[in-house]
Amino acid sequence: MRNFCATRPKPSCINPVIMISLGMRRHLKNLALLSGLCACFLMAQPTSAQQTDLAFGLSTISAPSASSASGQYSPQSLTGGAYPSFSGDFLIKKHLGVSSEVAWRGGRSFYQGVYPFRPVLWDINGIWAPPLGKNFVAEFMAGIGGENIRFYQPFTFCGFTGCTNYVSSNHFMGHIGGGIRAYLFGNFFIRPEAHLYLIHNNFEFSSGRATRFGVSIGYSFRPPAY
């Protein structure tokens, strides 16, 4: 059996204080970027774009099993769990626009069965949303984002931004997604959707690939004549 502690850093192999010093800077940059995106969505007026869509969803993740891990990857799968999500997009011209989304595991899982952790996935995309008849709209998107893995500690660490009980590991990722909006009542819609994440250097888990399937409920702010 391979000694994973000897071949790569793991939460159970590294002193938590060292993990904090290595992970906090990257985590703060990630949060600052995500906060800026959220602020842009909140401050933008629907009239500045052809259409603005906001949605809340629930999904789950499918990823290669722990037993399939090889090379740099670890025998820990991302599969399972309930992932709440928030998403929004601006359609600017001819059904083209930009979108952003964040999804996180609602409950903590356990790394190697003992160490509590929670993944957070966020992305920024270009989006194409062509209509499919009167009450349906397709969505196709592609972009970039990040995976933030929060490893929870049995103590609280306080810094200049406040106090937390976790440290973070961050990874750049590519994102491809799609869905179909069904307008069942006015501007309210329900959207089955699927997302593929290609995560760089995701050595904490069995693979750099994960797929999220779910359903969102949302509302479209669009001109009356749309």
**How many Å apart are CA 197 and CA 206, to the nearest integer?**
14
Of all residues in the chain, the percent with pLDDT exceeding 90 is 63
Identify each DSSP E strand in the chain by its residue range.
51-62, 83-93, 96-104, 109-111, 115-128, 136-159, 162-185, 188-199, 209-221
**Bridge partners of 215?**
58, 192
Whole-number pLDDT of residue 122: 98
pLDDT band for 16, please (50, 70, 90 cuts). very low
- Under CATH, what is the fold of the domain 8-221? Porin (2.40.160)
pLDDT digits (tens, 9 = 90+) for 94-152: 899 999 999 999 999 999 888 899 999 999 999 999 999 889 999 999 999 999 999 99
- Asked if the model's pLDDT at residue 223 lies above 80, the reply is no
pLDDT digits (tens, 9 = 90+) for 168-188: 999 999 999 999 999 999 999
**How many Å apart are CA 116 and CA 111, to the nearest integer?**
6
Whole-number pLDDT of residue 36: 55
Q: Which amino acid is at 212?
A: R
**How many Å apart are CA 94 and CA 112, to the nearest integer?**
48
Whole-number pLDDT of residue 106: 95
Ranges of each domain in the chain = 8-221
Whole-number pLDDT of residue 34: 53
**How many Å apart are CA 62 and CA 50, to the nearest integer?**
35
Q: Which amino acid is at 150?
A: R
- Asked if the model's pLDDT at residue 219 lies above 60, the reply is yes
